[in-house]
Amino acid sequence: MITWFKLATRNLFRNGRRSLFTVMAIGLGFAAVNALGGFTAYIFTSLEDSYIHIQGNGHMSIFKKGFLNEGKLDPTRYLLNEEDVRVIDEVLAAHPEIRISTPELNISGLVSNGEVSTIFLASGRVSSKVDVIRSRSRTKVGNMQLFDGEPMSDETPNGLGMSQGLADQLRFKQGDTVVVMAPTVNGQINALDGQMLQTFNSPVEALEDKLMLVSLEFAQSLYDTTSVDRINVLLNDGLLTESMRATLQSELVARGLDIEIKTWNELSTFYTKVKNMFDVIFLFAFLIVFTIVVMSVINTVGMAIMERTREIGTLRALGVKRRGIVGLFALESMLLGLFGSLFGVLLTLAVWSSIATLEPTWIPPQITRRIPLEVYLVPQEMLWSLLALLVLSLVAASLPARKAARMEIVSALGHV
């Protein structure tokens, strides 16, 4: 085995320039796939982290059954009342896998500066609990302040935040008093004064002139209810999301609650769409690399076979079997794949460390602030790429190698 390994390795250096170009092609392909893979991993992680932690939604949300389908038309019919919330809190408290849970009430109505009014959509939340969820963010964006002004706080229940577009439209600035109006759950018109604490950018451009953040207390007062529309749940380990959903679902139903639980990726359709898009892009990139690698290896092995036809004949004359010839070229091809992949690992590390050092920023879709651009190092993906390229090299070499092995020995020996 050592002899064949030695022979294969030395053969690669017989036409060093050709082997070098093949190794470079494989290495560049490897780096392209892994840099893109690292970038998509960054995007996926950022989107996941943004929804779960930065936006404070947690890994899953518990709703009254039907809220998501029919609740938009008549939200007050599908609210979780105090008793429901108490039972849910009891069930959740029995699970140490749950880091924290927080109730939420989404409201809509009119916001006015005394001269003009416009519609708004607001989330009513418990700021201290949302802060705990945000503090679990694993991304650089999670450590950035994504609003201008003061943070929301439990101590200022009438404090509110407003999307920049809405604030500009109504000419609100920090500290201004804001009049918020909405029908209560009983159909009465209610109005509350709020204090403008902060402005932020809407994650969806179409909502830039409509979004507000209020405290849960404020939202409940405006709707004149003690109910909420969901309980958001943050787990200690996101990998337990599916199993915990099933467990909580059965336990809550057993306690007589008619509820449904949706996980973060079911609720974040944007994440799913972006992921699908990047999966297609990644597939295209991989197919391009696949073509480059296969063509390079076929060319290299094909040329080597042509140049070494007489040597193949000699080895066959000395007793090497057909599968031995295939094995020799397969080994050479796999070594090309291995050296190429190792070169690719170095290139990927260079790309990764350059980006980590230079810390470039960019403005991704749906965010109006500059945020750090990152390329993650994904060792598992690199390992899979290496294995895939080895197999690809092997498969690419097998066709010309099999042809070489089936050559007539006499013809091969007489080849000039």
Partner 1 sequence: MNTITSIGTAPLVELRRVTRHYQIGENPVIALKGIDITIQAREFVAIWGPSGSGKSTLCNLIGMLDSPTSGTVLINGQEVNDLSDNARSELRNRTIGFVFQNFNLVPVLSALENVMLPLQIAGASSTVARERALERLAEVGLEKHVAHRPAKLSGGQQQRVAIARALVTDPALVIADEPTANLDSGNARRIIELMLNINASHGTAFVFSTHDQRLLESVKRRVLMQDGEIGSDSHPTRPAVQTRIAGGRP
Is the distance from CB of 62 to CB of 266 less than 8 angstroms? no
Going from the C-alpha of 19 to that of each of 206, 286, 311, 325, 340, the distances in angstroms are 54, 22, 19, 19, 10
408 binds partner 1 (CB under 8 A): yes
Question: What one-character DSSP code corresponds to residue 406?
Answer: T
**Site stretch for partner 1 (CB under 8 A), options 5-13, 165-173, 175-183, 385-393:** 5-13
The number of residues that bind partner 1 (CB under 8 A) is 25
In angstroms, what is the minimal distance from the CB of 42 to partner 1? Answer: 45
Per CB under 8 A, contacts with partner 1 among 315-374 are: 315-322, 324
6 binds partner 1 (CB under 8 A): yes
**Site stretch for partner 1 (CB under 8 A), options 28-36, 39-47, 183-191, 308-316:** 308-316
- The amino acid at 150: E
Surface-to-core class of residue 366, CB atoms within 10 Å of its CB (0-12 exposed, 13-18 middle, 19+ buried): middle
**Site stretch for partner 1 (CB under 8 A), options 49-57, 129-137, 198-206, 313-321:** 313-321
**Site stretch for partner 1 (CB under 8 A), options 51-59, 122-130, 178-186, 405-413:** 405-413
Sequence-distant (6+) residues with CB within 8 A of 208 are: 163, 164, 165, 166, 201, 202
Helix H segments across 94-215? 127-135, 164-170
Task: At 237, list the tokens.
Answer: 């380990």
The nearer residue to partner 1, 119 or 409, going by C-beta atoms, is 409
11 binds partner 1 (CB under 8 A): yes
In angstroms, what is the minimal distance from the CB of 320 to partner 1? Answer: 5
In angstroms, what is the minimal distance from the CB of 316 to partner 1? Answer: 7
Q: Between helices 16-49 and 322-358, what is the axis angle to 10°? A: 50
Per CB under 8 A, contacts with partner 1 among 275-304 are: none
17 binds partner 1 (CB under 8 A): no
Is the distance from CB of 228 to CB of 125 less than 8 angstroms? no
Binding site for partner 1 (CB under 8 A): 2-3, 6-7, 10-11, 13-14, 310-311, 313-322, 324, 408-410, 413
